[in-house]
Amino acid sequence: MRVLLTGGTGYIGSHTAVELLAAGHDVVLLDNLANSSARAVSAIRKVSGREVSFIRGDIRDGNSLDGVFQTHAVDAVIHLAALKAVGESVAKPDAYNDTNVTGSRRLVERMAAHGVTTLVFSSTAAVYGDPASTPITEACPASPQSPYARTKREVEELLRDLHRADPRWRISILRYFNAVGAHPSGQLGEDPRGVPDNLLPYIAQVAAGRRERLDVFGDGYPTRDGTGVRDYLHVVDLARGHLAALDYIRRSPGVALHNLGTGRGHTVLEVLHAFEAVCERTIPYRITARRPGDVAVSCADVSRAREELGWTATHDLQKICEDLWLWQSSHPDGYGDDHSPTSTLGVSGNDSASSQRAKRMPSS
Ligand code: NAD
Ligand code: UD1
């Protein structure tokens, strides 16, 4: 298959590209580089040893999307492009609606116009909000608590409506739990801008000496050691989940919904100590107040993904820490300074026409 990845130079997109290429698929990346580096394209080429097309463009721009579908015979789309910072979404709900909802609407509209009706959508465990019980099954009612989570929920509903109106659509909705770690090659990883919001990148930067200490957000939760429990999923396992989902919807038309997690939870302190063991240094921390909006425990029931997709996570917390530490220590500044909205670093060959087109668009 030829698979288009929106958000393809991002953290999860770049790892998914590598897994698709390894499985023999062709890959086209579309990204406006709002939160990623064009250097990820070269890293994908290097790790996979294969060519990949990159188009710098915006999912909200119909002309850009038409250009992609006209130039590349796309069989399926994995739609990862989104804004994803929960805190920022509270401050900028309009921006989140615009990119996540309007962008998704534009994408499926242009897909339909070009006869492409196979789609995997990146949703999130955040749509469950504060669940009544864990582990969380797909039957657990959605109760999104942030503008970010509400945009994802809205797109899930939009996709169900789309299928009701036109049953040719084959749609997989994947609700990811906490994606963490990096590629075992040390060449691909998460490249957060500024102060990381999430636990693992923060710990890695403390270990590397970039930050003084970790603030542990509360130790009074009803958990093993009082700190929050999450289901941390290695990004390579998550990437492989997309291949399993694609395979599933090619066999089973309709709208599928799957949690992707490990089914196991770890506390903040367990993660911290696992990382200390891997990097062989002490990671200073202090206990601070709870972060508003945090839940005590978020852990996936992964039986449906195991039974229907034949997919399970294979990497444990130690492997997550090892791969993240390799990435952090070999790339202390991530992909480097290439976060400028006008940079085209790493873009080459058949990408140039599309990047010229994209350069004329307003930046997001
Ligand atoms: P990311 O920010 O690294 O990747 C998203 C990519 O989308 C970025 O490369 C960004 O430049 C691009 N993008 C943003 N707006 C765009 C637009 N208008 N047009 C084209 N490209 C655009 O984030 P990620 O962690 O790789 O997340 C990928 C997807 O998975 C997102 O949809 C996110 O909501 C979802 N998700 C992530 C996690 C997680 O733990 N990281 C958990 C649940 C769901
Ligand atoms: C957050 C998002 C979720 C998103 C996920 C992506 C919220 C409410 N949810 O999940 O939508 O899919 O990131 O990775 O923001 N912690 C600390 N100190 C820190 C950072 C985190 O103690 O500096 C704790 C948190 O309180 C939590 C755990 O570590 O218990 C994990 O936090 P984080 O990595 O931010 O992920 P989530 O909050 O689960």
Q: Any idea which of 156-160, 199-203, 317-321, 337-341 has the lowest mean pLDDT?
A: 337-341
| 236-281 pLDDT tens trace | 999 999 999 999 999 999 999 999 999 999 999 999 999 999 999 9
Mean pLDDT value across residues 331-341: 72
Annotation: CATH topology of 2-358: Rossmann fold (3.40.50)
- Retrieve residue 4's tokens: 């288009």
Mean pLDDT value across residues 142-165: 97
pLDDT of residue 293: 84
Mean pLDDT of the residues in the chain? 92
CB distance 264 to 231 below 8 Å: yes
The residues lining ligand 2, judged by C-beta closer than 6 Å to any ligand atom, are: 86, 124, 126, 178-179, 197-199, 202, 214-217, 228, 230, 268, 291, 293-294, 298
Atom 7, ligand 2: which residue's CA is nearest?
Answer: 86
Atom 19, ligand 2: which residue's CA is nearest?
Answer: 199
pLDDT of residue 292: 87
Those residues with Cβ within 8 angstroms of residue 275's Cβ, 6 or more apart along the chain or in another chain: 200, 203, 204, 207, 283, 321, 324, 325
Q: Spell out the domain ranges in the chain.
A: 2-358
